[in-house]
Amino acid sequence: MMQETPQPGYEEAFVDVVGARVRYLHAGSGRPMLLIHGLIGSSANWRNNIDALAQHASVYAIDLVNMGRSQRVGALDAGLRATAKRIVAVMDALHLAEATSSPTRTGEPSR
């Protein structure tokens, strides 16, 4: 008798940003939490954590460009600033910035 493999509690999707197709995993609801893998990694680094984190947040685990199942782009600038810009572009495409904004401005003294 064959046992069914349990399905993960997350969905896989793609978003097009800065000329590349970026893969991400999503689970949960509420305030967004963005999980970014380290060097030579992918969203798979988070597979054992997503379900637990999704009990408290809307979790997004991305594959950076040229990593995991995201699109490969030749001559990609892999520097810190360029990578940060691509991460911000993913956040914008998934509308994560609006979900985390608050009515108070940072840097203003509290009264």
Q: Are 14 and 65 in contact (CB under 8 A)?
A: no
pLDDT at position 39: 84
Residue 58 pairs in a beta bridge with 32
pLDDT at position 109: 47
pTM above 0.85, yes or no: no
DSSP string, 47-80: TTTHHHHTTTSEEEEE--TTSTTSPP-TT---SH
Q: If DSSP codes are grouped into helix, strand and coil, which group holds residue 33?
A: strand
Tens-digit pLDDT string for the chain (111 aa): 555 544 568 999 999 998 999 999 999 999 999 999 998 899 999 999 999 999 999 999 999 999 999 999 999 999 999 999 999 999 999 999 876 555 544 454 444
Give me the half-sphere count of Cα atoms (radius 13 Å) on the Cβ side of residue 33.
Answer: 17
Q: Are 22 and 63 in contact (CB under 8 A)?
A: yes
pLDDT at position 48: 92
